[in-house]
Chains A and B, each alone.
Chain A
Amino acid sequence: MANSPEYQKWFEMASKQMKGKTPDDIAWKSPEGIVIKPLYEANDIEGLPSVGTFPGMAPYTRGPMATMYAGRPWTIRQYAGFSTAKASNEFYRKNLAAGQKGLSVAFSLSTHRGYDSDNPRVSGDIGKAGVAIDSIEDMKILFDGIPLDKMSVSMTMNGAVIPILAMWIAAAEEQGVKQEQLEGTIQNDILKEYLTRNTYIYPPEPSMRIVSDIMAYASKNMPKYNTISISGYHIMEAGADSVLQCAFTLADGVEYVRAAIRSGMDVDTFAPRLSFFFGVGMNFFMEIAMLRAARFLWHKLLQQFNPKNPKSLMLRTHCQTSGWSLTEQDPYNNVIRTTIEAMSAVLGGTQSLHTNAFDEAVCLPTELSARIARNTQIIIQEESQICKVADPLGGSYYVEYLTAQIIEEAEKIINEIEEIGGMAKAIESGMPKMRIEESAARRQARIDQGKDVIVGVNKYRLADEKMDFDILEVPDSVRLEQIDRINQTKKARDTAKCQACLEALTKAAAGDGNLLEVAIAAAKARATVGEISDAMEKVFGRYVATTQCVSGAYSSEYSEAGSDAAQVIEALRKRTADFMANQGRRPRILVTKMGQDGHDRGIKVVASSYADLGFDVDISPMFQTPEEAAKMAIENDVHIVGASSLAAGHKTLVPELIQKLKEKGAGEILVVAGGVIPPNDYSFLYDVGCKGIFGPGTPITESAGKVMDMLEAQYCK
């Protein structure tokens, strides 16, 4: 649609005011590749199919409910869990008393990956990033005094879904609550685990069967339960822009619908219980538009399955503010970032929301930071009057235009995925992962150059950074406590009965029984998470990820700049080349992630960028023990190891790595650490021999420069 005569007048006036520039000159190209003009008008949105509709009515662009928050505000649902079941239970009860409505459980990484707390592979993970659950006994403690017939419980669990859901159902029954009374959501979104978060256990095919089994079981026995939460959040956190998040999440959703239909279910029996989970970042209007676009597209995509129930076409979603946008530097700024993102989610029409705590770039939330996070939502709901009108931005030229743009761009990607044969096949081909990683590397480069501003990090940085708030630390005694309870549980149980249940589960895995149904019996017989997982692993095997890494994306963002920034890159490349001339080979670095934390965006970006700077970069497999990482460092004969830690494992894993290197006679291999490490732990790490620590927000060029300083000092005399 051509611009109106009035727009032309405005254009001339604006050009005059800008002295020689025109509004076209200051148009901005968003990370999604969408060109944003400085002004929109009615002509920009005329005839768009997503415009001019009503909330609660197809295609639901303006929201799934007719009155939206004017009728009832979104649910404040804070994700939390740490340490032991007892500690988490106390935390939940306090939060519920303070105005929180639903519960959202974060599990320990060991639990996610189907390991019991006494497994030596997970010694650094127990209770660090979530609550450790080993058996139904832990689950009962977790929900002690919380009536499960009234409380809606959301559980972020994808890998060990079968044992955890089984234990929750069994614990509820032992509380006297019937299955049909249970309300809540299990994430159960395994596809995105292969894309970004990596907390899977089995290969894709049996994992998809698990998803279908859970859907089938719940559609029969738990009518009020959401059997899946199709998650874009982790895709965004891995570096995807809004178009990619929207497209990949919806494509995941379509794949689940197909899987359920293939397993014999009617679309209307499960589609109304599908829920979504989007991540909301700092690009305020883009995120609003993304949520609106997602609802429009879901309605369109689901038509192909001919549902009779309109609810099957309705996208309902939970949102969480972005963790990536949080900074370790000047951390109180995070309160403001989270507020802006929360507003974005609300104006986009979310059904429930988690707001991050300001200290989450550094550690687990404390009581204070959790309260501020919760109050951020309460204040929007109860003080700002924002809730009075449904979809207040409907009809905004800009927002409607953006919505249509995202619809268009995301649809292109979805079509591309359909041509590959659906999301499962696309994931196999590596396409989505490469796109996300490319987007992540570009974003890192923009941040490192200051093109994307982050206050307190690459602009207005404090000269003197002080940590003046408390840090929640999970003591290692948690592990011993868990191991104690496993031993007690095993001693008290009827071994023969438990064994029979586990054998039945293995048999069901090999045949076609419903895995959840069989696992509930095993949970009641006091089988552990590890035992239940192993019983299925016997048939399914354990999945090993293939790691791909893009190259060239980081430096290409720089060459676009052409200026000082490009010179920084060139200077570093010269240093690596000089090192080679001096040493007979390039500086060689192993980047590794030890422990069960599967968030590998950080190391991927580091690997890809360092290679662009002229390093030879080894990447370790996921989930390594320090011993394995040391072996790899030695066999590949690297100069330096970069250990990434995002889940509080640094205090056990990094010292152990340094120790193992020394034991094997390779003490000269340097070790640096990066990721979420509280500044208070820096001196501890330096004392055990860690040579450098790069916190969140450290520009790649800065860390690479420091690494070269160390290597030159040690090798080039």
Chain B
Amino acid sequence: MHKDPSYYIQGVLDNNRLMLARTITLVESTLSTHQEIAKHVINELLPYTGKAVRLGITGVPGAGKSTFIESFGTMLTRLGHRVAVLAIDPSSTRSGGSILGDKTRMEKLAVNDMAFIRPSPSSGSLGGVARKTRESMLVCEAAGFDVIIVETVGVGQSETTVASMVDFFLVLQISGAGDELQGIKKGVLEVADAIIVNKADGDNVNRAKLAKRQYETALHLVTPSSPNWEVPVMTCSALENKGLTEVWETITTHKQIMTSSGELDKKRQDQSMSWMWFLVNEGLERWFYRHPEIQKLLPGIKHDVEIGKVAPTRAADELVSILGKDLLL
């Protein structure tokens, strides 16, 4: 791995694909030496970011996310947009390995010169996903991509993590046999900016329409996140390229409304702030666990708590005060 940050910075700004790819590898790396370089790179690239539409897409497995992105992304490139797709694939908890197969379902977009697709393994940790993806997004923006799509599998907490870094969060659903609502969590409804019922094609059209009505009803039970935006439920067929223009129109309308109301700026400020706090917490945590005295005392204290000799509150006080002593020095 190259040590000089300017090697990456220049490559990204030149929109060199090879360098863009390597910079993402750099920001994703778990080595602290790499992270040091990455910090410099991100800092230098920051002035070139912020202008893109940041789009999050989630959906249960089988909702047709990849097919949707293939058709939707291709349509956007035809409109002259440069589209970057960051796809997060789950890593196996047992082996740590992963299968990154998104591009097999984005065949056309994968070879489209206006698009860049980068699948990344989730590597288990939620913080890992957030850190990598947020920074990769900035790298892509600096390379001149004006639509960034972050794709995540709709399981676990990853969708709220992704929602906290994008401007527009799109939840993809499919119609089933009447049990649609079981497939969607309340937490997801709360962060959604639009719900798209995909696969409205063939003999599925009527079921998709029914599902649309059910989601609309469900959304009435959720407090809207913005007074200026009513979350729409739409149907589309990524397979037959139907309804995709409408989805893009919704996203651009949303952007106009949010920009003129000042909510977009506010949202991004909030996101930056919560990102800062996330990193502060992460840094504190790292600091805590690396502290030699804590490392020494922790096993004993854990044991004492387990057998009930020491109360958890007191143990926690004791551990935190070790950090405190450090500060007084």
Residues of A within 8 A of B (CB): 205, 430, 544-549, 551-552, 555, 573, 576-577, 580, 583-586, 607-608, 610-622, 628, 631-632, 634-637, 664-666
Contacts of B21 in A (CB 8 A): 634-637
Q: How far is the CA of A580 from the CA of B25 in the complex (A)?
A: 13
Contact between B104 and A612, CB atoms less than 8 A apart: no
Which of B70, B97, B119 touches A615 (beta carbons < 8 Å)? B97
Contact between A546 and B67, CB atoms less than 8 A apart: yes
Contacts of B24 in A (CB 8 A): 637
Q: Is the interface of B mostly helix, strand, loop or mixed?
A: mixed
Contact between B98 and A616, CB atoms less than 8 A apart: yes
Q: How far is the CA of A613 from the CA of B96 in the complex (A)?
A: 8
Q: How far is the CA of A551 from the CA of B97 in the complex (A)?
A: 10
Query: Does B257 belong to the interface (CB within 8 Å)?
Result: no
Contact between B95 and A555, CB atoms less than 8 A apart: yes
A618-B119, A636-B118 known; A580-B100 Cβ under 8 A: no
Q: How far is the CA of A573 from the CA of B94 in the complex (A)?
A: 10
Closest-by-CB residue of A relative to B113 is A631
Contact between A583 and B31, CB atoms less than 8 A apart: yes
Contact between B28 and A551, CB atoms less than 8 A apart: no
Contact between A547 and B104, CB atoms less than 8 A apart: yes
Contacts of B121 in A (CB 8 A): 586, 616
Contact between A621 and B97, CB atoms less than 8 A apart: no
Contact between B97 and A618, CB atoms less than 8 A apart: no
Q: How far is the CB of A625 from chain B (nearest CB, A)?
A: 9
Closest-by-CB residue of A relative to B116 is A635
Residues in B107-121 with C-beta less than 8 Å from chain A: 107-108, 110-111, 116-119, 121
* New A-B contacts (11) at CB < 8 Å, excluding given A205-B202, A612-B94: A544-B107, A549-B101, A584-B1, A608-B99, A611-B92, A619-B101, A621-B110, A635-B20, A635-B21, A636-B21, A665-B18
Contact between A584 and B31, CB atoms less than 8 A apart: yes
Most buried by B among A576, A616, A666: A616
Q: Which 9 A-B pairs have CB atoms at the shortest separation, nearest pair first?
A: A584-B29, A584-B31, A547-B104, A611-B97, A637-B21, A621-B107, A614-B97, A619-B101, A618-B100
A585-B25, A619-B99, A637-B21 known; A580-B104 Cβ under 8 A: no
Query: Does B173 belong to the interface (CB within 8 Å)?
Result: no
24 contacts between A and B (CB under 8 A): A544-B70, A544-B108, A546-B105, A549-B99, A577-B96, A583-B29, A584-B29, A586-B121, A611-B99, A613-B95, A616-B98, A619-B99, A619-B103, A620-B103, A631-B17, A631-B110, A631-B111, A634-B18, A635-B17, A635-B117, A636-B100, A637-B21, A665-B18, A666-B18
Contact between A586 and B119, CB atoms less than 8 A apart: no
Contact between B111 and A628, CB atoms less than 8 A apart: yes
Contacts of A580 in B (CB 8 A): 30, 96
Query: Does B58 belong to the interface (CB within 8 Å)?
Result: no
Q: How far is the CA of A580 from the CA of B107 in the complex (A)?
A: 29
Contact between A586 and B18, CB atoms less than 8 A apart: no
Contacts of B107 in A (CB 8 A): 544, 621
Contact between B104 and A545, CB atoms less than 8 A apart: yes
Contact between B100 and A616, CB atoms less than 8 A apart: yes
Which of B1, B20, B97, B104 touches A586 (beta carbons < 8 Å)? B97
Contact between A584 and B96, CB atoms less than 8 A apart: no
Closest-by-CB residue of A relative to B67 is A546
Q: How far is the CA of A615 from the CA of B92 in the complex (A)?
A: 10
Which of A611, A622, A628, A665 touches B95 (beta carbons < 8 Å)? A611
Which of B22, B30, B70, B96 touches A573 (beta carbons < 8 Å)? B96
Q: How far is the CA of A636 from the CA of B104 in the complex (A)?
A: 13
Q: How far is the CB of B318 from chain A (nearest CB, A)?
A: 32
Query: Does B81 belong to the interface (CB within 8 Å)?
Result: no
Contact between B98 and A585, CB atoms less than 8 A apart: no
Closest-by-CB residue of B relative to A617 is B99
Contacts of A618 in B (CB 8 A): 100-101, 103, 119
Q: How far is the CA of A636 from the CA of B119 in the complex (A)?
A: 7
Residues in B42-89 with C-beta less than 8 Å from chain A: 62, 66-67, 70
Most buried by A among B1, B24, B99: B99
Query: Does B209 belong to the interface (CB within 8 Å)?
Result: no
Query: Does B34 belong to the interface (CB within 8 Å)?
Result: yes
Contact with A along B105-147 (1 / 0, CB 8 A): 1111011000011110101000000000000000000000000
Which of A551, A617, A632 touches B110 (beta carbons < 8 Å)? A632
Q: How far is the CB of A538 from chain B (nearest CB, A)?
A: 15
Q: How far is the CB of A334 from chain B (nearest CB, A)?
A: 33
Q: How far is the CA of A20 from the CA of B107 in the complex (A)?
A: 60
Contact between B103 and A632, CB atoms less than 8 A apart: yes
Residues in B1-51 with C-beta less than 8 Å from chain A: 1, 17-18, 20-22, 24-25, 28-31, 34
Q: How far is the CB of B61 from chain A (nearest CB, A)?
A: 10
Closest-by-CB residue of A relative to B199 is A428
Q: How far is the CA of A546 from the CA of B202 in the complex (A)?
A: 18
Contact between B104 and A637, CB atoms less than 8 A apart: no
A584-B29, A636-B21 known; A576-B97 Cβ under 8 A: yes
Q: How far is the CA of A51 from the CA of B207 in the complex (A)?
A: 46
Q: How far is the CB of A628 from chain B (nearest CB, A)?
A: 5
Contact between B110 and A544, CB atoms less than 8 A apart: no
Contacts of A631 in B (CB 8 A): 17, 110-111
Q: How far is the CA of A612 from the CA of B96 in the complex (A)?
A: 8
Which of B28, B105, B123, B202 touches A547 (beta carbons < 8 Å)? B105
Q: How far is the CA of A584 from the CA of B119 in the complex (A)?
A: 17
Contact between A585 and B29, CB atoms less than 8 A apart: yes
